[in-house]
A and B are shown apart, each in its own frame.
Chain A
Amino acid sequence: MTAAVLWLAVVSAMAATDASPPQARAASPRPAADRQATLQLAQKALAAGNRAEAKRLLASAAERFESVEALLQLSRLQSEDGDAAGALGSLRKARAAAPNSEGVLSAFAQMSLAAGAPVPAILALESLARICPTVAQHHYLLGVALMRAGDMPAAVDALRVAERLEPDRALTLVALGIALNSGQLYADAKPFLARSLALEPENVDIVAALAEAEQGVGELDAASAHAQRALSKSPSHATANLVAGLIAMNQSRYSDARSAFERAVAADPQSPKAHYQLSLACTRLGDTAAAAEHVEKYKQTLREYESRVKALRAATGPMRDAPPKGRDPKPRESGKQ
């Protein structure tokens, strides 16, 4: 999902509300009118195709009137123009102006997530989840952000809350299933994935995740059927190919396994699991050179993954878990949302 697409949901939710600090609005009726006029001018400039002028006007409104709405609109334009840093900068200013605004925090978190920065997203979403504990979306997004940071146990906790608050949302169910799969809790994952598949029968990510859970609990026929179903729609799907490879390994079809793992590696070159399993398939086929090569790639991706997660953890502050017993986190497949 692109930053711009994510952004649409945020801004549409906020379109009717100016999130400027209440005290600023109450104390300054005239500036409020000026602000509104400036925002309208920006809209006109945008409608005329003059994005630069629109951004200038919004920046001006943000500075003169401390308008959070202007900052949000500005960040949207920046995001659409590929200026993720600028967009996040605008949202940081909005957050400074309205630190407890649900809309700002949500926008900031989603923008951070879309920009591949789960740590600030986690911090914003944790605040949101405390401020609005009954809003399922905040817990869902917190779970997604935690998954991307590699903290699967905490992700499961957040997603379980989201699922309790909104039991029949396919996105939440599949995220929870994937997080549980990542923690190797396949039996726990299966019912959530089955429910999400009932809600979205054509979703290839759900079919593949269900195949993974079934493979984990040893239901190989069902796993194979679901993996093939996913692959018929998306032949390069990383998870579906991994499952197909594992099933082939179980059946000593090492050549098929190797092909499937090669497709999994091609789809997700950063997956230590795919490289590791590919090395095993190569070993079984007697191709020791390729096996050694993939062991090295496995080690490299593992170290890269660990470094990534370590850096993320270092930035999240003391509220987040350190890896158990000082261990680096395990290489787990991130959810595909």
Chain B
Amino acid sequence: MTRALALLASSLLLAAPSRDGGFRDITQAAGVNFQHHAAPEKKYIVESMSGGVALFDYDNDGRPDIYFVDSLTVDTAGDPTKARSALYRNIGNLKFEDVTDKAGVAHPGWGMGACTADVDGDGWEDLYVTAVGGNKFYRNNHDGTFSDVTARAGLAASGWSAGCGFADFDRDGDLDLFVSRYVKIDLQQLPQFGRDKTCQYRGIPVQCGPRGLPGESDFLFRNDGGLRFTEIAEQAGVADPRGLFGLGVGWFDYNEDGWPDLFVANDSGANFLYQNQKNGTFKEVAFPMGVAVSQDGAEQGSMGVALGSYDNNGRFSLFVTNFSEEYNALYHHEGAHFTDLSFRSKTAASSLPFVGWGTAFFDYDNDGLLDIIAVNGHVYPQLDKVKLGASAGYRQRKLLYHNRGDGTFDEVAAQFGAAMMEERVSRGLSAGDLDDDGRLDIVINDLDGSPQILHNEISEVGNWLIVRLKGKAPNTGAIGAIASARTGTVTQKRLVQSGSSYISQEDKRLHFGLGKAAQVDSLEVTWPDGTTTKRENVKANQVIEISQSQSPQ
């Protein structure tokens, strides 16, 4: 690992980035006025967990648009119109237009998260929104509108859904859907705020749960074609009959056998890593693979998941955000297994005071090494009334980790603008280049009030390449494809994912930081069906599209 990183550093010859500009909050200037709703006191856990954010190009104009998920409260639960999720069309120049009403995606109910994919293979991205009391599947009509086809597709689900992600787990060419579910909750019989000791924190009453409340099983919907799905979680072995509290989801082929595997972050329980058995079933292997619990065997309050080959070893490691007084876990993929390198990588200690949610591996300075961001915020507003010791308060700053290239990270949020240090109650996060300037921006959905669009304005960054993959129908979005960009002796890998971070969707276009390199020497795409496409000498600083159907194999 060290040798590879040293070679990368010498080949890219990148100077340290200038901090000038950093990340600037452009939310208002961009025309984004979305407000996420939540009850002020968060007396019930169901009022603390929303919401996700999706970056996806719904109108096929090449620019990532934004969908923010809104939630109801116990008081407004009877009227779905009290929550207004919002779709913002990217009209260029960092300006956005609210197209929610025209699109018809304003009221999915008590919204939680979102994931996107071209599910019906028509070349247009569809939208799936998880919610409390029934999810929504919005089919893209190609004209700026969506149709709610949930019932017809059989994708409603019930209970409290949280994370979601599409993948072709059975390799039949079309996309299937996994949905994690959280707590079993009856809005008519909610656990009473502060009712007993499990609903108290430092001597004050707080919301109950998730511990002490029953959990929900999870769903796997097999795509049967014709926009119809069958729920098969139990027979596939991913139902979670014990009902752990499922949140973040990450599909990836961890054992590189060509079949998508699945990681599920469980709150207050051991995480799941489902190994695809290539016969329609999965085997749960999180313990032997070393990603179930923390290094000391603690079941952590896992929320968000990021996947990335941060040391360019060709494998995707896992970064999992956790509750306060727990550390965010960096599980390094070593080939046959994962190793918890959280403390050795210097990402753990700084995360202990924070409750972590949305997260991403992203190369913010284009030096060819994936950095990490994690957004935070507690679940108890009552915290601000008590002595906290070393723990952070209800509102919390972000964590930004710069990859040093030697397996360790520096926490550098304070160097990248006031927006990074502003204390907020954040949840969903998605990374993507909103203005095609080659620098990755960040979009965050907060629990209370307005979101944040953080424009990357770091003045000295490396060269870059953005790759949009177009797969064969029906998986036109090439979900599950891997692009490998070789520069000199170093190869960076990126994965096209549906569903990531904390119940969110990141931009599916693949971003490579190239440092000083003027070109990618070799760019190879491994498509979900195992075929490959190769390009040589691809010039830096451009957005390119590679199509599976038109490519020489």
* A and B found bound together: yes
CB neighbours (8 Å) of B209 from chain A are 325-326
Contact A325/B296 with A184-B343, A184-B349, A313-B197 known, Cβ cut-off 8 Å: no
The answer to whether the Cβ of B103 comes within 8 Å of any Cβ in the partner chain is no
CA of A186 to CA of B201, assembled, Å? 25
B44 within 8 A of A: no
What total count of A-B pairs have CB within 8 Å? Answer: 124
Query: Could you tell me if B352 and A302 are in contact, using CB atoms closer than 8 angstroms?
Result: no
Contact of A322 among B200, B210, B299, B336 (CB under 8 A): B200
Is there a chain B Cβ closer than 8 Å to A96's Cβ?
no
Determine if B343 and A324 form an interchain contact, defined as CB atoms under 8 angstroms apart.
Answer: no
Q: How far is the CA of A273 from the CA of B391 in the complex (A)?
A: 24
* B285-293, B410-418, B433-441, B445-453 - interface stretch: B285-293
Q: Which residue of A lies closest to B213 (CB)?
A: A326
A322 with B198, Cβ < 8 A, contacts A184-B352, A218-B346 known: yes
- Interface size classification for chain A: 35 or more
**Shortest CB distance B426–A (Å):** 17
Residue from the set B287, B293, B346, B348 with the largest chain A CB neighbour count within 10 Å: B287
A134 at the interface (CB under 8 A from B): no
* Partner among A157, A324, A331 whose Cβ is within 8 Å of the Cβ of B296: A331
Which of these, A280, A291, A325, contacts B323 with CB under 8 Å? Answer: A325
User: Would you call B218 an interface residue if the criterion is a C-beta within 8 Å of the partner chain's C-beta atoms?
Assistant: no
Size of interface on B: residues with Cβ below 8 Å to A? 45
Q: Check if B501 is an interface residue, CB within 8 A of chain A.
A: no
Interface string of A261-289 (1 = CB under 8 A from B): 00000000000110111011001100010
Bound together, the chains give a CA A209 to CA B339 distance in angstroms of 23
Given contacts A183-B325, A184-B343, A302-B299, contact A328 B199 (CB under 8 A): no
Q: How far is the CA of A15 from the CA of B330 in the complex (A)?
A: 56
List chain B residues, Cβ under 8 A from A216: 343
Report Cα–Cα, A291/B287, bound state, in Å: 9
Pairwise interchain contact A318-B297, C-beta atoms closer than 8 A: no
> Which one of A273, A277, A295, A327 has the greatest number of beta carbons of chain B within 10 Å?
A327
Tell yes or no: B385 within 8 A of A by CB.
Answer: no
Q: Which residue of A lies closest to B268 (CB)?
A: A327
Q: Which of A186, A291, A298 contacts B297 (CB 8 A)?
A: A298
Give min CB distance, A306 to chain B, whole Å. Answer: 9
The answer to whether A183 and B323 have CB atoms under 8 Å apart is no
Does the CB pair A322–B197 fall under 8 Å? yes
* Distance to closest chain A CB from B517 (angstroms): 31
Bound-state Cα–Cα, A186 to B287, Å: 25
Residues on the A chain within 8 Å of B212, using CB = 326
* Also in contact, A324 and B352, with CB within 8 A (given A276-B293, A291-B288, A318-B203): no
Does B327 interact with chain A (Cβ within 8 Å)?
Answer: yes
**A319 is an interface residue with CB less than 8 A from chain B:** yes
From residue 169 to 198 of chain A, which have CB atoms closer than 8 A to chain B? 183-187
**A276–B297 contact, CB under 8 A?**
yes
CA distance A279 to B327 in the complex (A): 21
A185 pairs with B349, CB closer than 8 A: yes
Taken together as a complex, chains A and B put the C-alpha atoms of A283 and B285 apart, in Å, by 11
A249 to B340, CA, bound (A): 11
* Interfacial chain B residues near A325, Cβ < 8 Å: 201, 209-211, 268, 301, 323, 379-380
Known contacts A185-B349, A186-B349; A280 and B296 CB within 8 A of each other: no
Q: Does B326 reach chain A (CB closer than 8 Å)?
A: yes
Instruction: Give CA–CA (A218, B208) in the complex, Å.
Output: 37
Task: List B residues at the A interface (Cβ < 8 Å).
Answer: 197-203, 208-213, 268, 287-288, 290, 293-301, 323-327, 336-337, 339, 343-344, 346, 348-349, 352, 379-380, 389-391
| A positions within 8 Å CB-CB of B | 153, 156-157, 183-187, 216-218, 246, 249-250, 272-273, 275-277, 279-280, 283-284, 288, 291, 295, 298, 302, 313-314, 318-328, 330-333
Closest 4 CB pairs of A and B: A276-B297, A330-B298, A326-B211, A272-B297
- Given A184-B327, A326-B268, A330-B299, 18 extra CB contacts under 8 A: A183-B325, A184-B348, A187-B349, A216-B343, A217-B343, A249-B339, A272-B297, A272-B298, A273-B296, A277-B295, A318-B200, A324-B323, A325-B380, A326-B199, A326-B212, A327-B210, A328-B268, A330-B325
